[in-house]
C-alpha cells in the first residue's frame, strides 16, 4: 500500500491516483464477469481477479482516500468531488476496460485450452457496470464504527 502519511497531493494528483485504482479494479471486475460468462471454474482465475478487485477498492483506494492530504483541502467533500470526476472520466471510457478484459480473459481461456464463447443471455455489461460502481462508491464512504460496550458480568 502507498505510504501517504505526510504527503500532500495536488487535486489532480489525488484524482489520478484514485483513477488508477478504479481503472485497475474495473478491469479485474469485468474479467470476473466475463470469466463467469465463458464458464471458467471458480478456481480458475476468478478467485484471483475477485481478490484483486477487493484489494484495489476496499484496501488500497479506501485507505488512500481516508489518509491522503490534499494541498488545498483534506475535507471529505473535496476528495469526494475528485473521486466523482475520476469516476465520470472512467464511465465515459468503460467500454475500453471491457475490451481489455475480453482480451485478457480470451488469453487465459486459450492457455487453459478453452474456446471462449459467451451466450448473449450471460453478456450483461450494463448490469456489470452498475454492480461495479456500487462497490466502488461503497469503498469511499466515511468510515463507520462499531460501538464498544462495557463487558457484561
- Which pLDDT score, from 0 to 100, does residue 46 have? 94
Over the chain (153 residues), what is each successive 10-residue block's mean pLDDT? 62 93 97 94 88 96 88 80 95 95 94 89 94 95 79 73
Rg (CA), the chain: 18
pLDDT value, residue 8? 82
Quote the pLDDT of residue 78: 87
Q: What are phi and psi for residue 9, nearest 5 degrees?
A: -100, 145
- How many angstroms separate the CA atoms of 136 and 87, rounded? 9
Amino acid at each position: 500500500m502507498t505510504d501517504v502519511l505526510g504527503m500532500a497531493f495536488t487535486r489532480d494528483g489525488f484524482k489520478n491516483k484514485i483513477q488508477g485504482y478504479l481503472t485497475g479494479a474495473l478491469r479485474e471486475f469485468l474479467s470476473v464477469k466475463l470469466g463467469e460468462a465463458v464458464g471458467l471454474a471458480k478456481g480458475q482465475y476468478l478467485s484471483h481477479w475477485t481478490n484483486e478487485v477487493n484489494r484495489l477498492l476496499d484496501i488500497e483506494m479506501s485507505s488512500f482516500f481516508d489518509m491522503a492530504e490534499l494541498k488545498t483541502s483534506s475535507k471529505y467533500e473535496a476528495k469526494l468531488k475528485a473521486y466523482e470526476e475520476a469516476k465520470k472520466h472512467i464511465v465515459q471510457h468503460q467500454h475500453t476496460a471491457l475490451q481489455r478484459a475480453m482480451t485478457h480473459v480470451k488469453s487465459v481461456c486459450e492457455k487453459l485450452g478453452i474456446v471462449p464463447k459467451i451466450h448473449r443471455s450471460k453478456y450483461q455489461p450494463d448490469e456489470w457496470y452498475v454492480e461495479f460502481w456500487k462497490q466502488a462508491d461503497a469503498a469511499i464512504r466515511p468510515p463507520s464504527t462499531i460501538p464498544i460496550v462495557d463487558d457484561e458480568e
